[in-house]
Amino acid sequence: MAVKKVTIKDHAIFPEALIQTNGQTLQTGSSTLFHFDKVNTKSQIVVPLSFSVESVASTTVSHRVDNVKDEDLTTDCLRGITADNVIHPDHELKYATKDYKLEAQNSTGGTSVDHRSRIVYLVDALTTARKLVNGYPLARRDVEAMKILKQKHNIDVEQLVKRGMGIPAKFEQFLTIHEVNDGKQFTMKANLSTANRVTLCDVDVPKGYAYVLEGIHCDVGAQATVGEVNMFISRDGDPDLLTLDPACFGASQTPIQLHIHAFENFRIEFDLNSGVHNDFKAYASFSIRKIGAGFKAKMLEFSPNSLPTFLDPTDEEVAIIESQNLREIARTGVMPIA
């Protein structure tokens, strides 16, 4: 496999923390491990949260954010494929509004076979506050929303940003107000084959609720098993939303924390490209939440028609959204909305 290219323009649910993996033969010279393109076609931002690469002598990796290259990082000074590289567990790595790449430079003089890499990243809304902090131009709707909040609620978005007090809201703040009603857990132990997919879970979501994939783990093979097993994560109308290689995960039974919504159905499956993987074990955990007016307002503002029609706001929710100007709150990003 060469570069793992991900087109962000079709992503419409905010915020979500997702994962990509890539196993490839790293040739001598430069390579791109991951490429996220067409960012911000729906007022989006891509935020790399953590990454991990195989440690190889004389090989470097670097972030390229909106076509600006960052420093080179020598891979054998990093933590290796078993652990994530972060600035700090509570802080994001980068912010990309147009294009993001994780690039490698192999100077060993030979190929690195079955080189493994992975990245966990956030797709969220590009709010007014984020634009102000990073110096991006404001759109007409940003200016309109700021004016409405100033007139109706005496909320001065520019002043809040200048004060620098938790504005714009971080993903961690969203998680603290993410109210959970219940939880689901699933396990699987099965022989994998090339003929059929094996299902870890295939669950229908009760109307009015969301299932949120919060964590997964499974058996993780050695480096030589790159490309042998496929993991497929599907939700609603997104079949195979994510196709992953478990050999690029950290280690067996080591959880990967994610945050992926489903409003109708969630399905996780495995199959085999080659090799023998008997008694293959996997686990997934979901939180269950009631979808409230605030979350609906955010989807209406940034990605209308992204939710099923049965989640259209009720008359009561419409009154709450309009009276409290929740769409403008979501647009400006002056507080996290769950």
Predicted pLDDT of residue 112: 87
Q: Are 44 and 126 in contact (CB under 8 A)?
A: yes
Q: Are 252 and 220 in contact (CB under 8 A)?
A: yes
Is 143 in the same domain as 248?
Answer: no
Q: Are 143 and 64 in contact (CB under 8 A)?
A: no
DSSP states of 222-261 as a string? Answer: -GGGTTTEEEEEEETTEEEEEEE-GGGSSSTT--EEEEEE
Total domain count, the chain:
3
Domain membership flag for residue 173: no
Predicted pLDDT of residue 251: 94
Is 222 in the same domain as 286?
Answer: yes
| Nearest-angstrom CA–CA distance, 132 and 21 | 33
Query: Which residues, at least 6 apart from 206, have a Cβ–Cβ distance to it below 8 Å?
Result: none
| DSSP letter assigned to residue 28 | S
Domain membership flag for residue 248: yes
Domain membership flag for residue 177: no
Predicted pLDDT of residue 176: 74
Is 154 in the same domain as 15?
Answer: no
Is 11 in the same domain as 119?
Answer: yes
The pTM (predicted TM-score) of the whole model is: 0.94
| Nearest-angstrom CA–CA distance, 5 and 15 | 20
Specify the CATH number for the domain of residue 192: 2.60.120.380
Is 205 in the same domain as 295?
Answer: no
Is 243 in the same domain as 137?
Answer: no
Is 295 in the same domain as 153?
Answer: yes
Query: Which residues, at least 6 apart from 76, have a Cβ–Cβ distance to it below 8 Å?
Result: 55, 56, 57, 59
Query: Which residues, at least 6 apart from 176, have a Cβ–Cβ distance to it below 8 Å?
Result: 336
Domain membership flag for residue 83: yes
Q: Are 127 and 133 in contact (CB under 8 A)?
A: no
Domain membership flag for residue 337: no
Burial of 136 (0-12, 13-18, 19+ CB in 10 A): middle
Q: Are 6 and 34 in contact (CB under 8 A)?
A: yes
Residue type, 273: N
| Nearest-angstrom CA–CA distance, 160 and 24 | 46
| Nearest-angstrom CA–CA distance, 198 and 201 | 9
Specify the CATH number for the domain of residue 29: 2.60.120.1330
89: left (phi over 0), alpha (psi -120 to 50) or beta: alpha
The pairing of strands 238-244 and 229-235 is antiparallel
Cα–Cα nearest to 59, from 81, 90, 35? 81
Q: Of the residues 57, 92, 125, which one is the last residue of a structural domain?
A: 125
Domain membership flag for residue 160: yes
Is 271 in the same domain as 323?
Answer: no
Q: Of the residues 108, 125, 142, which one is the last residue of a structural domain?
A: 125
User: Which residues span the domain enclosing 159?
Assistant: 128-167+291-332
Is 163 in the same domain as 299?
Answer: yes
The DSSP element (H or E) to which 302 belongs, if any, is helix 293-302
**The tokens 């396990």 sit on which residue?**
187
Is 247 in the same domain as 318?
Answer: no
| Regions of the chain short of the pLDDT cut 70 | 1
Q: Are 210 and 264 in contact (CB under 8 A)?
A: no
**Helix, strand, coil fractions of the chain, as percent rounded to 5:** 20, 40, 40
Domain membership flag for residue 119: yes
Predicted pLDDT of residue 336: 80
Domain membership flag for residue 63: yes
Is 14 in the same domain as 56?
Answer: yes
Is 118 in the same domain as 226?
Answer: no
